[in-house]
Amino acid sequence: MSLKTSVEYFQTLVTSFHPVVVIDTVEEERVQGLISAACNDMQMAVFEWSVAQGLMRSPDSPDHRWQNEYAPPGAKRGQALPKTAEPLDMLRHIQDINFKAIYWLKDFAPHLTDPVVARQFREVTAQFSHHRSTLVISGSGPALPPEIAHDAVYLDLKLPDPEELYTTVSEVVRALKGRVNVELTPEDIRALVKALQGMTLSQTRKVVSYAALQDGKLNADDVPRVLERKARVIREEGLLDYFPPETNLAELGGFEGLKRWLGYAKVGFMPQARQYNLPAPKGILIVGIQGCGKSLAAKTIARQWQLPLLKLDAGRLYDKYVGESDKNFRRAVTLAETMAPCILWIDEIEKSMGQTSGEADGGLSRRLFGSFLTWLQEKSQEIFVVATANDLSAIPPELLRKGRFDEIFFVDLPEVDERRDILQIHLGRRQQGTTAFNLDELVLATDGFSGAEIEQAVITAHYRALYENRPPDTALLLGEIKRTVPLSVSRREDIQRLRTLARERFVAAR
Q: What is the mean pLDDT of the chain?
A: 84
> d(Cα 469, Cα 465) in Å, to the nearest integer?
6
- Mind listing the pLDDT tens digit for each residue in 123-150? 999 999 888 899 999 998 788 999 999 8
- The CA distance from 68 to 424, in Å, is 73
Give pLDDT tens digits for 472-503. 999 999 999 999 999 889 888 888 888 887 77
What are the angstrom distances between the C-alpha of 266 and each of 273, 279, 295, 382?
10, 12, 19, 11
Asked if 33 and 69 count as a contact pair (C-beta separation under 8 A), the reply is no
Give percent of the chain with pLDDT exceeding 90.
Answer: 26
- Binning the chain into helix, strand and coil, the percentages to the nearest 5 are 50, 15, 35
pLDDT band at 63 (very low <50, low <70, confident <90, very high): low
Residue 69: pLDDT band with limits 50, 70, 90: very low
Q: Tell me the mean pLDDT in the region 264-276.
A: 81
Amino acid found at 155: L
Span 420-477, pLDDT tens digits:
988 998 898 888 877 778 999 999 999 999 988 999 999 999 999 999 999 899 999 9
Picking from 487, 415, 424, 464, the residue whose alpha carbon sits closest to that of residue 444 is 415
pLDDT value at residue 320: 55
Give the pLDDT score at 78: 64
The mean per-residue pLDDT over the stretch 304-309 comes to 84
**What does the pLDDT look like over 350-390, one tens digit per residue?**
876 765 544 545 567 777 888 888 888 888 778 899 998 88
Report pTM: 0.70
Q: Among 296-300, 322-326, 459-463, 476-480, where is mean pLDDT lowest?
A: 322-326
Is the model's pLDDT at 119 over the cut of 90?
A: yes
Are 27 and 202 spatial neighbours (Cβ–Cβ below 8 Å)?
Answer: yes
Q: Are 205 and 170 in contact (CB under 8 A)?
A: no
pLDDT surpassing 90 at residue 72: no
Report yes or no: 297 and 255 within 8 Å, Cβ to Cβ: yes
Per the model's pLDDT, the better-predicted residue between 483 and 63 turns out to be 483
pLDDT given at position 61: 66
DSSP category for residue 405: B
Q: Mean pLDDT lowest for which of 2-11, 80-89, 235-244?
A: 235-244
- Phi and psi at residue 138, to the nearest 5°: -120, 160
Domains and CATH numbers, the chain: 3-155 (3.40.50.300), 162-237 (1.10.8), 256-410 (3.40.50.300), 416-490 (1.10.8.60)
Exposed e or buried b per residue across 233-257, where buried means at least 16 C-beta atoms within 10 angstroms of its C-beta: bbeeeebbbbbbbeebebebbbbee
Question: Which band of pLDDT confidence, cut at 50, 70 and 90, is reported for residue 60?
Answer: low
